[in-house]
Amino acid sequence: MKNDTKCIEAGYTPKNGESRMIPIIQSTTFKYDTSEDMGKLFDLEASGYFYTRLQNPTNDYVAGKICALEGGSAAMLTSSGQAANFFAIFNICSCGDHLIASAAIYGGTFNLINVTLRKMGIDVTFVDSDATDEEIEKAFKPNTKLIFGETISNPSLRVFDIERFANIAHKHGVPLIVDNTFATPINCRPIEFGCDIVTHSTTKYMDGHDATVGGCIVDSGKFDWMAHAEKFPGLCTPDESYHGITYAEKFGMGGAFITKCTAQLMRDFGCIQSPMNAYMLNLGLESLAVRMPRHCENAQAVAEFLASNDKVAWVSYPGLKGDKYYDLAQKYMPNGTCGVISFGVKGGRKAAEEFMKHLKLAIIATHVADAHSCVLHPASATHRQLTDEQLVECGVKPEGIRFSCGIEAKEDIIADIANALSFI
Ligand SMILES: *Cc1c(COP(=O)(O)O)cnc(C)c1O
């Protein structure tokens, strides 16, 4: 099936007389006839549900759909994109380990890795997403356990060279994790380029309607943990908290990662998505393949309009010919990239503030990537405490504006921008 069809059909197939829509199993608990039946679940001898802090059928239907869209072997939902990235990393790394991360990633993920994971004893080396193979190789240490990157980085809109990073990771016997939030599996399927584990903030295009915060982890099932068993004791040696189960042995390459992540991390941290949110996420997924081309069409038109406007100093959009990442975008996302653009107006911070005042359709929000067009001037919002010099140091330009194109008519979005530009 094509992804367009999987958006509608994958993950849940009703049997005779059952509900057409995914049922919302809004229940903490599940009933069993005997303690023995239940015991088998606790021993991971049988699959089934016992407590929604770990697993819930509604969530699993929706995770199954995202798994099919990405071409993975197993998947799970989490309460947020932050939880998905935390779990994906912490399911592999523990205290004393090291990872390599692209520096061009979402600010929340950067903090998670750079501050919180360090507090947990997990060390990191950030590399430029455009680093040479030699520079990436140099970042490896004996205790390096994975590489992490974003298909299209939020908000810097760099395209990550998935295949190149995957080859380097595999040469060193470690997996590559890619956060595919901005591209979505409609525009890019990282597993086809060698990525081992895909993560998502489903809060963005997947939900797509400003409705629910959520995350997802998809395992490709292609990484051979046992072939590098000494690096991955969590997957390749007995788990004392689970009666001595060795995940990679018992569940194989296709199941070990997600089973361990559910049985250990979900059990202990409980960052589960509510079944009601999973149901709403599924509604978003059903139209994802229809919405993404529209987001891209709108962003392409807006980017081209901005690039030809003399009040605009620069435009960054990987779909724009001449963009630094155009060629990589053509390789990984030939049908379109995403709906987010960044650009700078001439006249610096003041002109950008003036521009923002006159927008009527695009709402000012820290959010991106859903049906409503929205806009942010980082220098006067998320980064407002910083001076112009400090802004430059952290890669935020004082005149920079991040614009997320919704699925309204492109003529109306452009008219809104043109009107606001006329005031500066
Ligand atoms: C928003 C975002 C996240 C964090 O997701 P939440 O659902 O807000 O926790 C992670 N990665 C990327 C690329 C994002 O855009």
Q: What is the 3-state secondary structure (H, E, C) of 190-231?
A: HHHHCCCEEEEECCCCCCCCCCCCCEEEEECCCCCHHHHHHH
Domain that holds residue 97: 3-282
Domain boundary among 282, 305, 334: 282
pLDDT tens sequence across 25-41: 999 999 999 999 888 88
Contacts of 379 (CB under 8 A, 6+ apart): 349, 352, 386, 388, 391, 396, 397, 398, 399, 400
Pairing label, strands 197-201, 400-404: unpaired
The last residue of a domain, from among 260, 282, 304:
282
Beta bridge partners of residue 376, listed in sequence order: 402
**Tell me, what's the pLDDT at 40?**
86
Average model confidence (pLDDT) across the chain: 95
- When divided into structural domains, the chain yields a total of 2
pTM: 0.96
CATH of the domain at 315: 3.90.1150.10
Q: Are residues 64 and 19 in the same domain?
A: yes
Of 259, 282, 305, the position where a domain reaches its end is 282
The DSSP secondary-structure symbol of 13 reads -
Given a cut of 90, whether residue 384 has pLDDT beyond it is no
Over 80: is that where the pLDDT of 66 sits?
yes
In this prediction, residues 275-284 reach a mean pLDDT of 98
Of ligand 1's listed atoms, the one at least distance from the Cα of 153 is 13
pLDDT of residue 100: 98
Kindly list the protein residues whose Cβ atom lies closer than 6 A to any atom of ligand 1: 80-82, 106, 108-109, 150, 154, 179, 181-182, 201, 203-204, 213, 215
Q: What is the mean pLDDT of residues 166-191?
A: 98
Mean pLDDT over residues 195-220, rounded?
98
Amino acid 389: pLDDT: 79
How far does residue 38's CA lie from ligand 1's centre (Å)?
A: 36
pLDDT at position 367, please? 87
257 and 332 in a common domain: no
- Say whether pLDDT at 260 is over 80: yes
Question: Is 320 found in the same domain as 258?
Answer: no
Both 319 and 193 in one domain: the answer is no
- pLDDT tens-digit profile of 97-155? 999 999 999 989 999 999 999 999 999 999 999 999 999 999 999 999 999 999 999 88
Q: Is pLDDT above 70 for 394?
A: no
Split at pLDDT 50, 70, 90, the class of 209 is: very high
Mean pLDDT on 341-367: 94
Report the distance separating Cα 366 and Cα 149, nearest Å.
Answer: 22
As beta bridge partners, residue 217 has 76, 199
Q: What pLDDT, on a 0 to 100 scale, did the predictor assign at position 122?
A: 98
128 and 152 within one domain: yes
CA 152 to centroid of ligand 1, rounded, Å: 12
- C-alpha 289 to ligand 1 mean position (Å): 20
Given a cut of 70, is residue 393 above it in pLDDT?
no
Which residue from 116, 181, 199, 382 has its CB within 8 A of the most atoms of ligand 1, so it is best to mutate?
A: 181
- Mean pLDDT for 259-266 is 96
In this prediction, residues 292-310 reach a mean pLDDT of 98
| 43 and 78 in a common domain | yes
The residue to mutate among 77, 82, 86, 150, having the most atoms of ligand 1 within 8 angstroms of its beta carbon, is: 82
On whether both 196 and 85 belong to a single domain, the answer is: yes
CATH of the domain at 53: 3.40.640.10
Shared domain for 132 and 274, answered yes or no, is yes
pLDDT at 382 over 80: no
| 226 close to 43: Cβ distance less than 8 angstroms | no
- Please determine, for residue 238, whether its predicted confidence score (pLDDT) is greater than 80: yes
What's the gap in Å between 211 CA and the centre of ligand 1? 14
